[in-house]
Chain A
Amino acid sequence: MLKLIARRLLQMVLIMAVVSLILFVVFDSDKFKKQIAVAELGGFSVAAMSDNDYRIWLKSKGLDVPVYERYAQWVGGLLQGDFGKSFEKNAPVSKVMGERLLNTGILAFWVFALMIPLSLIFGIVAGMKEGSFQDRSVSFIAVFTTSIPEIATAILLTVIVALGLGWLPAKSAMTGGWNSVELILPVLTLVLYDFGYVARMTRASMAEVMTSQYIRTAVLKGIPYARVIMRHALRNALIAPFTVIVLQLNWLLSGVVVVEVFFQFNGFGKMLLEAALFGDVYVIQAATLVAVFVAVLSQIISDVGYTFLNPRIRFS
């Protein structure tokens, strides 16, 4: 088990090293340096700049040193917990990103807090009796909500709840300080899109367990049905959904981009898009590394957790 974890962690470090190196080389191109200059100084002044001025500007930003030197510097800084400096915000990346990650973390917490019970209950109810009315209706609802992309869910919710009924604010920019009410629509959008997938996975797992011999035995022994479900079926049926739920972390990092941009919520996804459009290399670097880290870590947790929970794999 420890060997497995160690190997996966080593793989993660390797992947992150490769990713950061590729990003550094990609963003070192002249085109990107120009993009930063245009974003910061405006198109006209960059066009009017002489080569010498441009070189001075590069130097002031520390972009004139060769890429391998910058990479070495950056890795050195990273080991001391320094992510570099944002060109756009003129502040340390760790500070800019810390705030945004906290906001997205709160968003993600509520998404999971709502999605896990909702999808498990729906999935279990559907899987208890395969082919029954409740099974078919849950499956249909799940396909339906998953088929509506986040952007469309966001629009439908905004139009109905915010504009039509006027219950909630339409945007979540939090201009007047933190406001939890503004969090409701983004959370609902993400939950509605994602719960269908987890519910279907839970349903499949539950349906498989219900056809197994030991459940039939338990029912035939005359144990009350509720007890069979709670005591016997759930323990095995919840192993597969566990891995699926952990892997949703990876999906959430993609999903938040469009939802945060649509609702103007100042989170990690919006920061990533803004940094990419600006060419803010160090922010993109740091954000990508965080995203890859979370994604790989969730994969490791789901693999290790699955091995831990499922004795059939553990002992073979």
Chain B
Amino acid sequence: MTDTTMPAPRLSLVQRLKRPTALIVLSVLMVIPLVAYVMFGEPLARAGIREIVLIPAIPATLILYALAMSSWRESWVAILGGTLVFFWVFVAVSVPFLPLLDPNKPIRPFAQPGTEMGDITFWLGTDLKGRDMLSRMLWGCQRVLVWGVTATAVAYVVGCIFGLIAGYISGIWDEIISFISNVLLSFPVMVLFILILNYLGPSGFNIVIAVTFASAPAIMRIVRGLALDNKTRDYVFAAQTRGEHPFRIMVWELLPNVRGPIIVDACLRLGYTTVAITTLTFLGLGLQPPDPDWGLMIKESANLMVLQFSYMLLIPALAVSSLILGFNLMADGLREMSLRD
């Protein structure tokens, strides 16, 4: 809403970084290298640039964390949640550069936490096959985060497209889309996951598809409601009068104006998706061995019912809980702040 005749006010660097464009660029810098690293590891390794890809993500993560902390100062819940989440994101982008043992190399089975062997110390012990737990835990967050974020993002794109169509264009499209989403919503989520993954086979990409099927209808409902609410506002009428294409109105006018509730829901949904991926991997329907993953770590030692070795279960359980707690607290804090404004 700046007056065009006035010169633009001079902004400090921090303020400039807090503008939406800068935030989006930073988030892309943070997420894309990580996604590329995990999903296309082999072609990147052949080109000899697997580790180099992650380098831009490290400063991007740190800058985003600093910006988040400075703008969430009013809510300690959001600060706590954000710190937990950014801790794991930072671990995910920097883990190849940390001095850790190979997470897939069996060294010495059943070593208790703190065992020393020669010049190496197993701070968190080793698992059944003798792989270092500390390094498996830290590497494990990469896959959970990457697949969780990708699956949520895809579900959001699909849900938003259908929600905008159902809400803004309405009519027969609304009827069709709403019926399909009602059918999908009448499944208990886990039943839907099991059916889809059983049909497609267990893999990361299929988890993305399954999460999309399970979450997109709920997202579609939220977006549809918001679009219905907003489409009678003046700014939409103004855009219609200007003769803008419906597609442009939906994506450029409506979507940015309903982003508040969507961002809060996205945080919560990231948590759900992380739970779902860990649970599915535990059930044997998700990510496949040997690469470390929290659900897989639980699955491998789930029947080891001895107190002495319970650290093998506790470590991944606490790791996944802390990440989800982070997402939920962040969502809580963001909601609190948006209500206050």
Contact = CB atoms under 8 A, between A and B. Distances in A.
Contacts of B306: 163
Contacts of B332: 143
Interface in A260-316: 261-262, 269, 272-273, 276-277, 279, 284, 287-288, 291-292, 294-296, 299
Interface in B174-228: 182-183, 186-191, 194-195, 198-199
Interface stretch (B63-71, B102-110, B279-287): B279-287
Interface in B301-326: 302, 305-307, 310, 313-314, 317-318, 320-321, 324-325
A150 interface: yes
B271 interface: yes
A251 B307 contact: no
A55 B291 CA distance: 40
B305 A158 contact: yes
Given A151-B298, A158-B305, A159-B313, A295 B325 contact: no
A273 B325 contact: no
B320 A152 contact: yes
A125 B193 CA distance: 37
B275 interface: yes
Contact of B188 (A148, A277, A291): A291
Given A269-B190, A276-B198, A151 B284 contact: no
A255 B190 contact: yes
B186 A155 contact: no
Contacts of A19: 183, 186-187
A45 interface: no
A269 B279 CA distance: 13
Contacts of B324: 147-149
A148 B328 CA distance: 10
Contacts of A253: 188, 190-191
Given A257-B191, A277-B198, 7 more contacts: A19-B186, A152-B318, A158-B305, A159-B313, A272-B194, A284-B195, A291-B188
B307 to A, nearest CB: 4
B278 interface: yes
A156 interface: yes
A158 B309 CA distance: 13
B250 interface: no
Interface of A: 11-12, 15, 18-19, 23, 26, 143-144, 146-152, 155-156, 158-159, 162-164, 170-171, 250-251, 253-255, 257-258, 261-262, 269, 272-273, 276-277, 279, 284, 287-288, 291-292, 294-296, 299
* Contact size range, B: 35 or more
Given A151-B317, A273-B194, A273-B283, A292 B278 contact: no
B166 interface: no
Given A158-B305, A254-B188, A292-B186, A149 B310 contact: no
20 contacts: A15-B183, A26-B199, A147-B325, A147-B327, A148-B324, A149-B275, A150-B275, A151-B298, A155-B313, A156-B317, A158-B305, A163-B306, A255-B190, A257-B190, A257-B194, A258-B279, A261-B283, A277-B198, A277-B284, A288-B195
Contacts of A15: 182-183, 186
B283 A258 contact: yes
A18 B181 CA distance: 13
B279 A149 contact: yes
Contacts of A277: 198, 284
Contacts of B164: none
A148 B321 contact: yes
B198 A254 contact: no
Among all A-B residue pairs, the 10 with the closest Cβ atoms: A254-B190, A152-B317, A147-B325, A253-B188, A163-B307, A149-B275, A155-B317, A276-B198, A159-B310, A254-B188
B329 interface: yes
Nearest to B182: A15
B307 A146 contact: no
Contacts of B186: 12, 15, 19, 292, 295-296, 299
Contacts of A251: 188
Contact of B328 (A23, A143, A261): A143
A299 B324 CA distance: 28
Contact of A155 (B187, B283, B298, B327): B298
Report which residue of A147, A159, A299 has the largest number of chain B beta carbons within 10 angstroms of its beta carbon: A147
A295 B188 contact: yes
A288 B271 CA distance: 26
A254 B298 contact: no
Given A254-B188, A276-B195, A152 B321 contact: yes
Contacts of B199: 26
A151 B190 CA distance: 14
A18 B329 CA distance: 39
Interface in B135-183: 182-183
Nearest to B198: A276
Nearest to A11: B182
A277 to B, nearest CB: 7
A158 to B, nearest CB: 7
B325 A148 contact: yes
Contacts of A287: 191
Contacts of B314: 155-156, 159
Nearest to A253: B188
B214 to A, nearest CB: 10
A149 B320 CA distance: 8
B305 A292 contact: no
A272 B191 contact: yes
Given A15-B182, A288-B195, A291-B188, A146 B328 contact: yes
A15 B179 CA distance: 9
